[in-house]
Structure 1
Amino acid sequence: MDDLVLPTTVVGSWPVPEWLERLKTDYFRSRMSRTQLEEIHDCAVTAAIKEQELAGIDIVSDGELRRDNDVDYLLARVPGIEIPVTSKDFYYDYYEARARTSPVAPATGGGLGLDDDFAFTRARTDRPVRFSFTGPFSLSRRVTVGPGDDPADLVRSIAHVLAGAARALRDAGADLLQIDEPFLAGHPEQVGLAVEAINIVTADVDVSWALHVCYGNRYARPLWEGHYDFLFPAVLDARVDQLVLEFARKGYEDLPVIERSGWDRGIGLGVIDVKSHEVESPELVSARIEQALELVPPERLTINPDCGLRNLPTAVATAKLRAMVEGTARVRASLPGRTPGDRARGAA
């Protein structure tokens, strides 16, 4: 893990092909059994892992292909969250969820099934695995609380549930976990609460932690615009090792701001715009990395797309990843003490 220079990875999600969308929707319309859907998921996850390997990615993910969207897969498993209607017209739709009671971590089965998902992925690759899940603040944005209930208490309660899942993941062998907070940019005034909840999740879970914050990626469209300065100074108190951020689409003006704000830990550098079907050239990827290296030393950088790849066609996503890998390799070879044949292996 420690010998990697500029390791390449993905943020989480993998493209969902049309046939898988159709079959997932069939399940939610009661046209398919859960057992059949799980078999399909197993095949889709295995294929996603292999596609990442073939593209040359150093740290792979499960592609989040078992999840319907960034919220429901987890909310449906959180104690105290009620989902009155579990059918959907389209698998990607959000449930209408509400807090029935204050969610508490279950006495048993605290992994929420994520540990089983990780174990499946771990058994199908010899490469390091980045395993991600949506954070407590973003999950809470899709839950209705009762009159007089404090939404902040819901965030903290969900965080305690996710802390149990994180411990189960660690016990299953996970050593690189990522919390995604895709809704945080839309509520910058809540960053202090989000960091408090993140620290509940990561406390006493001795793995490498990443925090991903973007500006939304629903149907490949940003939900908000802005700058990452809203994260500071609150995020300096987050017990995480790396910030994974969106740069390729937005530009790199925020990078100096982040460095001036005192962030001295890892940065997941977005060099691939996942909201565009245009495939970046390796030369453009190299230029983006070299621009970042003017401010951040290579040992603190991980190279990744801006966000998940869910909304891209598979062929486009794989072409973008190959360009990312090739562009990164060119920069690695130009670093002092490196040769063109050098190739990083391991984890961040």
Structure 2
Amino acid sequence: MSKNSYVIGFPRIGEKRELKKVLESFWAKDCSFDEVKKVASELKKRHWNYQKDAGITYISSNDFSLYDNMLDTAFMLNAIPKRFKHLKDEELYFAMARGNQNSVAMEMTKWFNTNYHYIVPELSLDDKYSLNSSKILEEYKEAKELGIKTKINLIGPITFLGLSKRVDRGDTFELLSKVLPIYEKLLNELSTLDDSVIVQIDEPIFVKDNEPKVLSLIKPVYDRLGTISDNLKIIVTTYFEHSNEATKVLTKTPIWGIGLDFLYGEENTQALEEIANSGKKLIAGVVDGRNIWKNNIQNTLEILANITKHIKKDNLLISSSCSLLHSPLTLKYEQKLDSSIKEWLSFAYEKLQEITIISKIFFSGLESLDSNEIKIYEENINANHNRKNSTVIHDKDVQKRVNSFDKFSRNGKYEERIKLQREILAYKDLATTTIGSFPQTPEVRKSRRDFKKGEISQELYEKAMKDYIDDCIAFQEECGLEVLVHGEPERNDMVEYFGEQLKGYGFSQNGWVQSYGSRCVKPPFIFGDISRPKPMTVDWITYAQSKTSKIMKGMLTGPVTILNWSFVRDDLPRSEVSKQIAVALSDEIDDLQKAGIKIIQVDEAAFKEGYPLRTNKIKEYEDWAVRDFKISVSSAKQETQIHTHMCYSEFNDIIKTIEAMDADVISIETARSGNELLKIFKEVGYKQEVGPGVYDIHSPRVPSVEEIVKQINLLLEVLPKEQLWINPDCGLKTRKYEEVKPSLINMVKAVKQIREERE
């Protein structure tokens, strides 16, 4: 063990997604909540022991959650929206996250620029906060029973308020005077747990461009929290970018340490002098918590050597750059990966070993490593050398085509295109459609799984997929949807499916990462130059179109989303990787329209997610992200209608960028946030057509016709009917058919009612 090894946080879903499975079993009423608690307890113990056995000194408790840590913090503060106050315990907790038949769930949005979603707390001036510390205290005691004395993780009060929303329209920071005393009471309780207690307070909001009024809160808050008790050591951590403005203030408070990300926030080096002068501990994030590439230990030792030109070694701890929540758990189940590629990878468990080895070498030299650690260190050097010189990474033909590609937009202005499209497609105002995917039934998943294992023939597999498509089309026609989709039964994931057909992509068997709640994704990884050997979607969509006289949408994932929802090679700028994907997609769109597909949706669900957290870096990202969306659709004819879809996003600051993308129709998620997202489209005079989601697909509840009628009428207060499409919030993949069918039937009935009322 190295006394200087530190991990910000750890994944919680389990090696085999045990948490996901037990939660979904509980929600389906197939097991009791006692079983959920049992599985959660087993996972926590296992994960603590992983870290202990790997030699990590500073291990977290309270980084575990049954759904989300922001939700846990709201629960801790008793910040419960009025519509849920009649509920108790687990029913209350999960209703806040998922909604129930009587109440809409709390809003959900992306955690900074990651693919993790958090539940957005709802606050008001009338709230009466009180402390519920039971979860935090119980976890600390659970770990201590195993002989592990943990640091206790909390989301800081400034970040909590900054990421919450006021339902009474006020400034969330006005509530600091009500929230801060609860944190003080909590820290007082925690200080009694041991003779010395370390509390990690996460304040990632400090890495954003904060207004002076936010920065002005830091010193008074941490002057108070830092003096609660002499045996309480407070560490304030940030990640994903630099936090220089906040760091310089924190050095003047009585906290014990500061955690900084030196991989995604290289500018953090600018604050080293202030930290050194303060004498505080520096938790140096130098092992990547967000990507899967093996750490280059020799390079990392150089970074640390530069840091210690300012910081005394005695004041330095070696850490992950952020929580390992954003990484898959372990490589030990990856039996099918090409060995030459697998040796380049490192998941959460392997990163623990890297942190320990780096710490030992840096503080005590190579001679401090045991024989197994020496072997890992030597493998690390060889793997990084092999990857740098590998012939499977570089494709000269791809590089030549991408570098010479010069068609950066499609032909015709929007006004010309939409007139032509309306004539050819002949769809009504308030046209009804869905976002793309339909429920992935157990039968569909089994057929895909059996085909991959070679247990059924391609003929049987294709029959199963086509039977599903037939049923999906029949239902859509029966309920009266106007623009149809094929349901995507052949797709395991909206990125992985395309990655499997693109050269330069790799795949794990068990590389699951939590997206929200029980929702897990298995991102592919880009290790080399990207090209499309053959069409990826044409056969399935042309089969579906042959089964209906209605318009069938072609469905693609856009280049920026494919990039942002993959683990991306770190030896090439992201902009260059994105352009390679865009060029490949332009070929797919050309093949689709040649096959007779008249509407093609190019989803950019993760477009906003990739935004830099600092304003001065945004323009560069927007320039290449818009460029690559336009490259991907550049082959589309004027009469081919291009749709796109964007997930949870605040559009106010990027509406001009959305306009620049020049899609003919954009669908967006608005059901949990009312019409606030939509109003900006009107304010800027947005010309293109818009499909605001009229009901929330992340909740199991079925909306009534009356609810949807009310929602559509609210939409019509913002935009005219000629500009609106009617659709659910997002794809229906994660829902069950017994929820999807009545919801879509009610949606179509609501549109018919509105049309009749307005004729």
Cα offsets for 1:110-165 (capped at 9, x unmatched): x32x1112210110111111222111111113444444311111111100100000
* SS of 1:82 mapped into structure 2: strand
C-alpha separation between the residues in 2 aligned to 1:82 and 1:13? 23
User: 1:174 aligns to what?
Assistant: 597
Structure 2 CA distance, aligned partners of 1:10 and 1:159? 24
Summarize the Cα distance change of 1:263–1:316 in structure 2 as closer, same or farther, 3 Å threshold: same
Q: Is the 8 A contact 2:507 2:525 kept in 1?
A: yes
Residue 662 of structure 2 is matched in structure 1 by 239
Deviation at 1:95, TM superposition (A): 5.3
Name the SS for the 2:731 alignment partner: coil
Q: In 2 relative to 1, CA 96–257 (structure 1 residues): closer, same or farther, beyond 3 Å? A: closer
**1:193 is the counterpart of 2:615:** no
Unaligned runs of 5+ in 1: 216-225, 339-348
Q: Is 1:293 matched up with 2:726?
A: no
SS at match of 2:693: strand
Please point out which of 435, 450, 472 is paired with 1:26: 450
Do residues 129 (structure 1) and 562 (structure 2) align? Answer: no
- On the 8 A contact 2:495/2:524 being kept in 1, the answer is no
Q: For residues 271-282 of structure 1, what are the structure 2 equivalents within 5 Å?
A: 271-282=694-705
- Percent identity for Structure 1 against Structure 2: 23
1:213 aligns with 2:636: no
8 A contact 2:525–2:568 mirrored in 1: no
Asked if the contact 1:229–1:257 (Cα under 8 Å) also holds between the matched residues in 2, the reply is yes
Paired residue type of 1:27 = F
Q: Which amino acid aligns with 2:632?
A: V
Aligned with 1:4 (options 409, 423, 428): 428
In terms of mean alpha carbon deviation, does 44-53 or 7-16 score higher? 44-53
Aligned residues: CA RMSD: 2.1
Counterpart in 1 of 2:530? 103
Partners of 2:524 and 2:541 lie apart in 1 by 27
Report which of the two has the higher share of helix. 2
Q: Deviations over 1:74-127 (max 9, x none)?
A: 111123x23265x5699x852542232x22455xx4x32x11122101101111
Give the aligned partner of residue 683 of structure 2.
260
Q: How many residues align?
A: 318
The answer to whether residue 497 in structure 2 is matched with residue 73 in structure 1 is yes
- Give matches, 1:16-165, under 5 Å: 16-79=440-503, 81-83=504-506, 87=509, 94=522, 96-100=524-528, 102-106=529-533, 109=534, 111-112=535-536, 114-165=537-588
What does the per-residue CA deviation read over 1:306-344, in whole Å, with 9 as the maximum and x for residues that have no partner?
Answer: 001111111210100000000011111122xx2xxxxxx
Question: What stretches of structure 2 of length at least 5 have no aligned partner?
Answer: 1-424, 513-519, 613-620
Task: Using the TM superposition, give the Cα deviation of residue 19 of structure 1 relative to its aligned residue in structure 2, in angstroms.
Answer: 2.1
- Distance of aligned partners of 1:143 and 1:313 in 2 relative to their CA distance in 1, 3 Å threshold: closer
Flag the 1:286–1:191 CA change in 2: closer, same or farther, 3 A: farther
| Conservation of the 8 A alpha-carbon contact between 2:505 and 2:526 | yes
Q: Which letter maps to 1:211?
A: T
**Greater C-alpha Rg:** 2
Shifted more, 57-66 versus 192-201: the winner is 192-201
For the Cα contact (< 8 Å) 2:511–2:523, is it kept in 1? no
Query: Alignment partner for residue 738 of structure 2, among 312, 315, 322?
Result: 315
Is the contact made by 2:671 and 2:694 (CA closer than 8 Å) also made in structure 1? yes
Letter in 1 for 2:530: P
TM-score (norm 2): 0.40
The Cα shift of 1:22 comes to 2.7
Moved >6 Å (runs of 4+): none
Conserved? CA contact 1:13–1:309, under 8 Å: yes
Q: 2:432 is paired with a residue of what secondary structure? A: coil
* CA distance in structure 2 between the aligned counterparts of 1:162 and 1:302, rounded to whole angstroms: 25
- What is the TM-score of this pair, normalised by structure 1? 0.85
